Amino acid sequence: MQKIIDKILSGDLSQKNLIEELIKFNDESINEYNEACDVNDANQLKINKLEADARQREANIVTIEKNALIAVDYAKSLESANISLKADNKDIKQLRNENKSLKKLKANHAQSSKKQLARIESLTKDCKDYREQIAVNKSDIARLRLTGMKTIGKYSFTIFPSKTEIVENGKAEKQVNLVIMDSNGNLKIIGVNKQGEIAQPRSHNFKLEDEHIDFITSFDRVAKADKYQFTSRVLQLVN
C-alpha cells in the first residue's frame, strides 16, 4: 500500500494504473486474509485438539488417581489378609503339632486300653470263679442249718443234706433235692426231672396228692432259680 502511495505522490501512476494497482492490492489483501483465516482455522483446530487432549489427560489423571486409591486400598486389604494368613499359618502349625501329640497320645492310650481290657477280662474271669466258689461255700455253710421239716398232709418234707447227682441224657448234674417221709419212717429222695415230671426211686411208693405235687414243683422252681444251691430261699421252704 505504501508503494502505491509513493507512486501517487511521485506522479508515476495514471488513473488507470492506480485502479489496477488498487485492484491488485485488494486481491493480494484478500488472498493474505484468506491465508490468514486458513492459518487461524488450522491453528484453532490444533488448539481445540490440544484442549481436548488436555481434558482427556485431566480425565485420565482423575481415573488414574481413583485407580491408585483403589490399588492402595486393595494393597492395604492384601496386607491385612497377609497378616491374618500368617497368623492362621501360625495357628495351623501349632494345631499340627498338637495333632501329632494327640495322635501319639491316642496310640499310647489305645495300647494302655488293650492292656486294661485284658486285665479287666482276667479280673472278670477271676471274679466269676470267686463268685461261683463263694456260692458253693455259702451253699455248704447253709447245710449246717438243715434242721427244718415241712409236714403236708400225711407226708413230711425236708432237704437232703448233700447234693444228689442226677444223670439225664448222659449228663450228670448235682442238685439240691427234697426228702419225703411217711408216718412209718419210710423215706426217699424225690425231685422233678427235665420234663417237669416228679421222679422218685423205685421203692416204697408214695401216693402224692395235689398239695404234695404243688409243694414239690414249687420247691423245684425256687431251687432251679438258685442253681440248685443251699440258699436261704431254698432252706426257708422247709423252715
pLDDT of 194 above 70: yes
Measured distance CA(154)–CA(186) in Å, rounded: 12
User: What percent of the chain clears pLDDT 70, i.e. is strictly above it?
Assistant: 81
Read off the pLDDT band of 165 (50, 70, 90): confident
User: For residues 76 and 166, what is the distance between their CA atoms, to the nearest angstrom?
Assistant: 95
CA separation for the pair 140, 126 (Å, rounded):
21
* Number of Cα atoms under 13 Å in the Cβ half of residue 66: 5
What is the rounded average pLDDT of the residues 172-190? Answer: 88
Regarding pTM above 0.75, the answer is no
Cα angle 209, 213, 215 (rounded to 5 degrees) comes to: 120
Q: Rounded mean pLDDT of 77-90?
A: 76
Average pLDDT over residues 86-109: 77
